[in-house]
Amino acid sequence: MQLTQEQLEQFERDGYVFIPDLFSAEEIAVMKGEVPALFAQDRPENVRERVSGKVRTNFAAHTYNDVYRKVSRHPRLIGPAQQLLGGPVYIHQFKINGKAAFDGDVWQWHQDYGTWQADDQMPEPRAMNFAVYLDEVNEYNGPLMLIPGSHRKGAIPAAHDLSTTSYPLWVINNDTIRQLVAEGGIVAPKGGPGSALFFHGCIVHGSTSNMSPWDRWVVYVTANRTDNAIRQFKRPEYIAHRDFTPIELESDDCLLTHRRSAAE
């Protein structure tokens, strides 16, 4: 799959492209079916909420789960990523983020590249994210909020926040956010399961808590250009991968094929 010229221009200008229904209900059912078993595992790849103990983030499922290995090589995700980054890519990070109903924590305003640069010594912001919604994302269950155009500022100085949330993060100060929002506003792309959001590694984003009774599970993947591989291995390998082999694509129907094989 390839993005249109209009989508490429939107990504350049706004720092994101949102595509509703990129995956079918059947494909999402295959992905979602793996989640309870993944989250039930007692392993360091499962990061849990401070208070409730529920899984907030599962890392690197593509290295130990066959369905998510296929997701990480899916042409509808990796095709656009190669196109947007202009070359072959590898997976820098792969996570399933389960913002739980009622007690999902906030993510303060930040750029992902801030972390990749500071912790992983990624040379340039030639990496990006894509998010696949496993659940409906609406205004009530803590959707990702983006500041359009903020990626054009490049890497913004940030402070290391170890206390506010469950996971250490390089967060951006309020005066900067105020200025960026005055220029670009805020958007929170909402859509049903199967929707996908492609966003730049430098776009400033965050999310509020989830007070609704609706869980909000999203697969977040970071694709990095193979010639932009990280140079420091401070973080665990399951958080910042060290296999820089270019991804080879699966077939477009790989998730449906998986289901049929499993049913046999």
Nearer to its own copies, 123 or 192 (CB): 192
To its own copies, the closest distance from the beta carbon of 140 in angstroms equals 5
SS3 at position 59: strand
Contact 199, 16 (CB under 8 A): yes
Closest to its own copies by CB, 37 or 182 = 182
Nearer to its own copies, 69 or 190 (CB): 190
CA distance 110 to 49: 19
Which token pair is 236?
A: 């665990």
User: Based on CB atoms, which residue is closest to its own copies, 57 or 207?
Assistant: 207
Find the shortest distance in angstroms from Cβ 147 to its own copies: 10
Least distance to its own copies, CB of residue 103, Å: 9
Asked whether the beta carbons of 126 and 224 are under 8 A apart, the reply is: yes
Question: From CA 4, how far away is CA 95, in angstroms rounded?
Answer: 27
Dump strand ranges (E) for the chain.
16-19, 46-48, 55-59, 89-99, 107-110, 127-133, 145-146, 159-161, 169-171, 196-200, 205-207, 216-225
Nearer to its own copies, 102 or 233 (CB): 102
3-state secondary structure (DSSP) of residue 90: strand
Q: What is 194-262 written as a DSSP string?
A: T-EEEEETT--EEE--B-SS--EEEEEEEEEEGGG------S-TTTS----PPPPP--TTHHHHHHHHH
- Report the residue number, 25 or 211, with the smaller CB distance to its own copies: 211
Distance CA 170, CA 160 (A): 4
214 close to 156: Cβ distance less than 8 angstroms: no
Nearest approach, Cβ of 236 to its own copies (angstroms)? Answer: 28
State the nearest-atom distance from the C-beta of 40 to its own copies, in Å: 21
For the CB of residue 213, give the shortest distance to its own copies in the complex, in Å: 4
Question: Could you list the residues that contact its own copies (CB under 8 A)?
Answer: 101-102, 106, 108-109, 139-140, 142, 145, 174, 177-178, 181-182, 186, 188, 206-209, 211-213
Q: Based on CB atoms, which residue is closest to its own copies, 57 or 141? A: 141
The least distance separating its own copies from the CB of residue 177, rounded to whole angstroms, comes to 6
